[in-house]
Structure 1
Amino acid sequence: MNRTTLNRRQWITASGAIAAAIGTPQMATAAEPISSRTSPHFKLSLAAYSYRRLLQGDKPQLTLADFIDDCAKMQLDGTELTSYYFPPNVTTDQLLELKRQAFLLGLSISGTAVGNDFGHPAGKEREQQIADVKRWIDNAAVLTAPVIRIFAGHAKKGVPADQSHRLMVEGMQEVCDYAGKLGVFLALENHGGPTATADGLLKLVKDVDSPWFGVNLDTGNFHSDDIYAELEQVAPYALNVQVKVVVSGPDKKKVPTDFARIAKILRDANYRGFAVLEYEENEDPRVECPKYVEILREALA
């Protein structure tokens, strides 16, 4: 049977039968909940975005090496090295030095993140967006970062909704095909626009045909009347989880995150992976992040 002649459902069925016959695990697809998870397991990490004011600007106060050191001091399992804080033309040697540092400190590089927009129609801007994501897939492979959180993008003026959806799906499909060849997962974040709701996010996820694709569940990026219900809806698809310290509904009023409820949602979904603290508030992150790491650690214990 030629795989290229199979549609998505036929391939899932066929591969499952083959896996059962030879006694090997079946590879899950992104379009379905990750059913192979039978019990929860949590690892803790911190997103470099939490230190953004310290890592960016003409004269940054800290380097990514300093951030990694802080993650180790917090007794974390991982460190998320957000792409925004690397040199524009980061070299392989620079990536390997950070990988070496993290390993010697007992840290996994839990993932990285890119800023992208696949809502652009055909042209140079779209080509650049896709090229930038592929470049960071290459970098993630060097770092041995298992997952990159990506965005769908935003609809452009004059582009019909169905065409905008198709552009985003096609962009994600292309980069997922590339990422799979290097063993890197891509995780679509709920980040406004078409991913502002659980239904909108999952509509995109289910239209991308790749076993290397899933969701980056950001606990602070749904703003409906029932935020936790939406998080619960998406949690079974999560490859990575970003935990914010506040949530806000339609009125945008910030209230403290219910960490115990987040933990229950993740346990009920049998989530296994990193829970990454992402601190976005205005206080000093070097003071506040250790406090919230301990709150998160206790909730997930």
Structure 2
Amino acid sequence: MNDFPINRRQWIAASGAIAAAAWSAPQLATAAEPITQRTAPMFKLSLAAYSYRKLLQGDKPQLTMADFIDDCAKMQLDGTELTSYYFPPNVSPAQLRELKRQAFLLGMSISGTAVGNDFGHPDGEQRDKQIADVKMWIDNAAILSAPVIRIFAGHAKKGIAPDESHRLMVAGMQEVCDYAAKQGVFLALENHGGPTATAAGLLKLVKAVDSPWFGVNLDTGNFHGEDIYGDLAKVAPYALNVQVKVVVSGPDGKKVPTDFARIAKILRDANYRGFVVLEYEEAGDPREECPKFVETLRKALA
């Protein structure tokens, strides 16, 4: 009688079969459903380079992206969001890797990046360019180790029926999501006017794209209905990334300060885990204003 009912070779084979089964099991939620794996909230802080747009753009920018990363480190942030608009159009992999190196040595992650795209265009040169540009930034995000890219659906074009406009946007997002999946990069659809101006409109698009690498970029300043915080709460369970503005405005267009405590509660109730990114758009020197609002946000999320 064998004292060892399973020998080493059999044990290795059995272990391999178990591991293979674990890898083959579906682990990822699709974008059509809330992200249910989150069992408790956890927040990391970042700042969007869009906050420094006045300093980073123009014929003679006052600051470089490296300067912005340095400022994020001085604010003791966990991450830095590098908006694509402020890179040279022909940015090289070497330049991207140098920014990645800089952020890492300063103890930060590159929390994500953002593109300005429009998938509402019909078939043709303009649409092809929009898709190609997003794919290029998926490649760039992979080099940066940026886990997520904020994208837009786009806007309906004159003469195109609403159903066709919806189809075009979904088809565009599906194509770039399929590409992003190969690079291991998430794409997050922002609530940004047009068909995404309401929670219902945003989720209609999100649920139409079949990809586990797709979700929502929740912008707290971009819903303008009667119940702004109610709309944010409806979308929060789908969020891959959160951008916090310092003001909100309803149907009357009047700006009022964001209720940071209420935003924090919405994110906690949704068990959101990930980056909360300050995106400062108001008047004033962002190098002076952003540190103040970072601290306000830090206290609200503590």
TM-score normalised to the size of structure 1? 0.93
Structure 1 residue identity aligned to 2:245: K
* 1:117 corresponds to: 118
Q: What are the within-5 Å matches in structure 2 for residues 46-61 of structure 1? A: 46-61=47-62
Alignment match, 2:265: 264
Aligned: 1:213 with 2:214: yes
Query: Quick one: which amino acid aligns to residue 126 of structure 1?
Result: R
The amino acid of 2:33's aligned partner reads E
1:230 paired to 2:214 = no
| 1:282 Cα deviation after fit | 1.1
Aligned equivalents of 2:281, 2:218: Cα separation in 1 = 16
Q: Distance in 1 between matches of 2:263 and 2:221?
A: 11
Shift of 1:115: 0.2
CA drift of 1:22 comes to 3.7
Identity %: 84
- Residue 9 of structure 2 corresponds to none
Query: Following TM superposition, where does structure 1 have runs of at least 4 consecutive aligned residues deviating by more than 6 angstroms?
Result: none
Aligned to 1:15: none
Larger Rg: 2
Q: What TM-score comes out, normalization by structure 2 length?
A: 0.92
* Counterpart residue type for residue 115 of structure 2: V
1:84-99 correspondence to structure 2 within 5 Å: 84-99=85-100
What residue in structure 1 maps to residue 158 of structure 2? 157
Return the alpha-carbon distance in structure 1 between the equivalents of residues 221 and 143 of structure 2.
30
Alignment of 1:100-115 (within 5 A): 100-115=101-116
Q: Show structure 2 runs of 5+ residues with no match.
A: 1-17
**Distance in 2 (alpha carbons) for counterparts of 1:64 and 1:40:** 30
Deviations 1:102-127 (A, max 9, x none): 00000100000000000000000000
What is the rounded CA distance, in whole Å, between the counterparts of 1:29 and 1:127 in structure 2? 26
Provide, for residues 215-256 of structure 1, a one-character-per-residue CA deviation record: whole Å limited to 9, x for no partner: 000000000000000000000000000000000000110000
Give the C-alpha shift of residue 26 in structure 1.
Answer: 1.5
Q: Distance in 2 between matches of 1:267 and 1:211?
A: 23
Which residue matches 1:145?
146
Query: Partner letter of residue 64 of structure 2?
Result: T
Superposed CA offset, 1:7-59 (max 9, x none): xxxxxxxxxxx99x748672111110000100000000000000000000000
Aligned to 1:296: 297
SS at match of 1:166: helix
